[in-house]
Every structure is written in C-alpha cells, then in structure tokens.
Structure 1
C-alpha cells in the first residue's frame, strides 16, 4: 500500500481500527471506458466538426468548446469514481467504499462474520490480466462482492493474513530474531562442549585399557595392579 492510498482512505477507517491494505478495481476497467469515450465521444466529433463545413458553420466553436469541457469533466469523474470504489482492509474488518463526487457509501463486514472467500473469473482473459470478482461469503446466504478486482488471489491472502492477526504480531522483528539466535547459539555451544568433553574422556579410558591389555600379553610383564 502506497502512502497516497494510506493518507487518502484512512478517513474512512472506522474508529479504533487500523488501516492495513487497499484493494482496487483493475485499471483495465477504466482504460476500456476511456478508450470508448475518447474514440466515440471525442475523436469522431472532432473529425466531423473540422471535416464538414456544414457542421462547422451550423455549430459555433464556443458551443463545441463547451461540449469538450463537459466531456473531459465526465472523464475525470469516471476516473475519480473508479479510484474510489475500493475495499479497505483493517485489522478487524473489510470495509467496502463506494464513493463519487456526489455521494459516499460504506459497508463493512467483520472477520468473525466471514464464512469463506472466493474468486469469480470470466474466462482466460481474466486469468491473464489477473482480474476477477472477489467474493466474501458472509455467515448465512449473504455475499460481499468487489467486481473486477485487481489480483484477487493476492487479495484473498491479504484478507486471510489480516484476519489471523496484525503483521506486527505475525512477524518476528530483527531484535527478537537476534535474541533467539544468541540463545540458540549458547545452547548449541554448551551441548558441543559437553559432547567434546565426554568424547575426550571416553577416548582416554579406551587408550588406557588398550595399553594395559597389551602389557598383559607381553612376556615378562609384571602386573602392577596386583
């Protein structure tokens, strides 16, 4: 999650909850809409306006400028609307935000009310683009749907990780890791030291025993142990 997303959407996080991640609709959705609008509502009118003297004479240029201004305003509105249709993942819930310039609507579902998660892909193209509907199955028969989500399988992993605990609780910090490593090193060192001491003592006893056995077998050897 980038800093802009964090600063922009944190005001929609319920009080007492922590913002962890933002799940957006796939950019291909808005790109498809923009291509259609620019081709049909911008390129064609400009072509006919300047290629046809009849249209050019009947429509004053200032009216055509107003049309272009309204068209670009609609494009900005569509981009704004696409960017603000998100799922906000907190440390205890999923918050669905449907916001436009004229209205704002939020709906949330707590993790304990989630029965399952699923992905609704529409053909091979969705798989290639990593796009699909992200479905939350709530307890009962209700469903929570974010259509055309970007990378839905990764989004499922994010929700499952958030529902199992905050990243701070799940991850081992570097300081804790060093403490654990130092403790393990001490245990291993003591074990190796004890093992070496025991091995040395066993070898010493074994050598002493062999010397005595060889001495007993030699002729003229006096057994000093008697």
Structure 2
C-alpha cells in the first residue's frame, strides 16, 4: 500500500499567496468600473436625494426634479451654498429640504432615513417609495454599500442615478484604465480608501 504523500506546507502557502495576489490585482484593475453604478431613470420618483459636492450634482438633480414634478427633494448642501442659487433661479423651494449639518456620506444617508421617518404622511398612499440617489459616478458604490446597511429591512426602491459620465468629460475607457488619467486615478484611490474605512469602522 502506498504511503500518503503530504504536500510541502511552503508550497501550499505559496500557492494561496499567489492566488490572493492575483485576485487582488484583478480587483484593483477593475476598481474604476466597479465603483460606478448606473440605473435607468425609473418611470416615477417620489424622492430625489442629492449628496453634497460639486454643482453638477445639483444641476442634474434639478433636471430630475423637473421631470418628476410631484417628487420631494433632499439636498445635502453647505450653508448658503447651491440652495441659494436654486432660490435665485425661482425654483419651487417648498419641494426642497436642505440638510446642511452632514459631515460625510454616512451622516447624509442617516439624515435621509430620519426625514423619511418624519414625513411618512407624504407617502401614505404609496405601496413602495421610489428614491433616486444623485452623486458623482465614482461615489455610487459606496453609497450603495451604506444604503444596504441602513435600509436593509426596508421595502424602498432605490435608484442609483449618478451625473452622466460625459459631463465630467470622462469615458468608459478612462474608467477601465483608471490609472492612466490623473483626475480619475485620484478619485478611484480616494474612494477605495473610503470604502475600506467604512467596511472596517461600520
């Protein structure tokens, strides 16, 4: 009877280490495209949520608000920031709830959850609330991770509606090869760090 041959432990460790490095490299190379989530614009939106940041987010959210005039709009904004420009443009501010106390994306989503809880009467006749989330394309994956944690037991319909890529003068090819373009590589690395931080802390 042949004796069982035991594989050298060093060989096993080397094989698993190599596999781990290959997987990490694969994930890293695809990070740019993984960060971006684009849902189609739904037939209806009851609530639009705009995450704080550049003016493009507000402008695109306004387009959605005009497309869905019955929707409410939560705008995370810095004090006297883009909301002031909305007022000057004669936008109907009765539809807009300004949040200017948030420090990060987690606190923004917490504020959304609190607002929905305090305004349930607005949606009393709705069987399912349709919520559009607006931010930059590279921000959407982190938003999705936080939303899934915050609203894991809810029956809301979340739609990830980032500002169109072309408004940043970016292309899908730039995301695919994200390390080749300075502006893209900076945001990809930054988002990767923030996602790791969120997964470790929250």
TM-score by length of 2: 0.23
Q: Which has the higher contact order (CA 8 A, sep 6+)?
A: 2
If the length of structure 1 is used for normalisation, what is the TM-score? 0.21
The structure that is strand-richer by fraction is 1
Q: Between Structure 1 and Structure 2, whose CA radius of gyration is higher?
A: 1
